[in-house]
Amino acid sequence: RARGMQSPLPPYEVLPAGVSMEDLPRSTTVLLEEPPRPPRDHLVWSFFTTLYCNFCCLGLLAFLFSVKSRDRKVLGDYSGALSYSSTAKCLNITALVINIIAVVVVVTVLAIVVAGIANRENSPQF
């Protein structure tokens, strides 16, 4: 239910003639709503992605979106904060995957080059 909207009151009913208010049980109901959990802004993750895994400035973009998300969260705009947060998360994941692939490719190429050099040195020369 949206904030500020109250449920309609039940219809008014007249007490029967022989019943007084003092005979009826008294109770009070208080409904407390939990405030919505603010979304995560992934600021620390974006910061480290910016420092260590900054492929095509994806880390910097993720950091900027994380800062925007934190600003929206401070202002109480949780839907805007969630939008910026999910964008920062996607950019962080993309930068991480690209960097993992780059490391695997570099290690594979180095292993092939070292293996080729070792084979050339061990082969008999004519």
**Confidence band of 4 (pLDDT split at 50, 70, 90):** low
**Model confidence at 5: pLDDT above 70:** no
**Model confidence at 6: pLDDT above 70:** no
Query: How much is the mean pLDDT over the chain?
Result: 85
* DSSP state letter for 65: H
pLDDT (0 to 100) of residue 126: 60
Q: What is the pTM of this model?
A: 0.66
Query: What does the chain look like in DSSP terms, one character per residue?
Result: --TTPPPPPPPP-PPPTT--GGGS--------PPPPPPPP--HHHHHHHHHH--GGGHHHHHHHHHHHHHHHHHHT-HHHHHHHHHHHHHHHHHHHHHHHHHHHHHHHHHHHHHHHHHHHHHSPP-
Per-residue pLDDT reduced to its tens digit, 56-96:
889 999 999 999 999 999 998 999 999 999 999 999 999 99
2-16 mean pLDDT: 68
What percentage of the chain has pLDDT greater than the value 90? 50
Of 4-8, 17-21, 86-90, 117-121, give the lowest mean pLDDT range.
Answer: 4-8
The residue among 60 and 55 whose pLDDT is bigger is 60
